[in-house]
Amino acid sequence: MLAGFPMAIPEIPVRDVEKAAEYYVRVLGFSFDWGDDAGGIGGISQGECRIFLTNAQFREQYDGTGTAVIWLNLNSKQEVDELYQRWREAGAKILAEPDDKPWRLREFTACDLDGNVLRVFYDFSWELQRERAGPD
């Protein structure tokens, strides 16, 4: 069951994900967690703060309209699927159904009446790392 809404994560448009991430790490003290410019998206963090950096090619999927993109980080794939079902049943405008993306997020997208995009996701990259590491 969805326990409540999590902290929203901003998506910041950049020309080059890796160059932007390098600045955030070197100058602003963030950690570079994953991603690259070829994929169009990268994640950075500091403490509880998470930010996604995206290039123009990545943003083309929603026409780069200049509207806001809000990422909601849920606690499991199940929560992503449950919220999708709840919003779909309530008549939300769904842009994409839940799917495991190559950038290691389970996500779906919806939008509000003004075209602002809500990307609801769960980051399962840690699960893949644990599987690769094998038993303790």
* Dist CA 10 CA 25 (whole Å): 17
List of E strands, the chain: 8-13, 31-36, 41-46, 49-54, 69-73, 93-100, 105-111, 117-123
What would the pLDDT profile of 79-113 be if each residue is shown by its tens digit? 999 999 989 999 999 999 999 999 999 999 999 88
**What is the per-residue pLDDT across 24-46, written as a single tens digit (0 to 9) for each?**
999 899 999 999 999 999 999 98
Domains of the chain: residue spans and CATH: 8-133 (3.10.180.10)
Look up the pTM and report it: 0.68
